[in-house]
Copies of this chain bind each other. A is one copy, B any other.
């Protein structure tokens, strides 16, 4: 418990960034989600698989996931909580949070899919936050 965290302005910006970013993904707007990553970003989303690299590579993985959901329609929700943000020395931000993934199939109730820790490196480009890195650790692996 070394740090006392970042300013309220920055913290609120990160929370709102996450809300928009993940609402876009859950709405199937994969291009909008991919655009929240930098061109050279690294996104490790699945255990035992190489991280996706570059925005184009990330988009390619997102299309694959979306394709899978066309044969098994469901509404996924990513809920980020317990967001901890700290400044790295170089102007970048380290953000570590919990992600709870839920899904609801038509006519059913919600189900828990997985519990993860999300480890982000955020940078500012053209005045707004973007993910330069996102490494997701899945609980139970």
* Residues in B neighbouring A100, C-beta threshold 8 A: 77, 79, 102, 110
CB within 8 Å of B: which A99-141 residues: 100, 102, 104-115, 127-129, 139-141
Interchain nearest-CB distance for A14 vs B (Å): 10
Residues of chain A from 66 to 102 with CB closer than 8 A to chain B in the complex:
75, 77-85, 96-98, 100, 102
**How many copies of this chain does one complex carry?**
3
Q: Given A1-B128, A128-B1, are A19 and B140 also a contact pair (CB < 8 Å)? A: no
Q: Which residues of A are in contact with B by a Cβ distance under 8 Å?
A: 1, 3-9, 11-13, 15-24, 32, 35-36, 75, 77-85, 96-98, 100, 102, 104-115, 127-129, 139-141
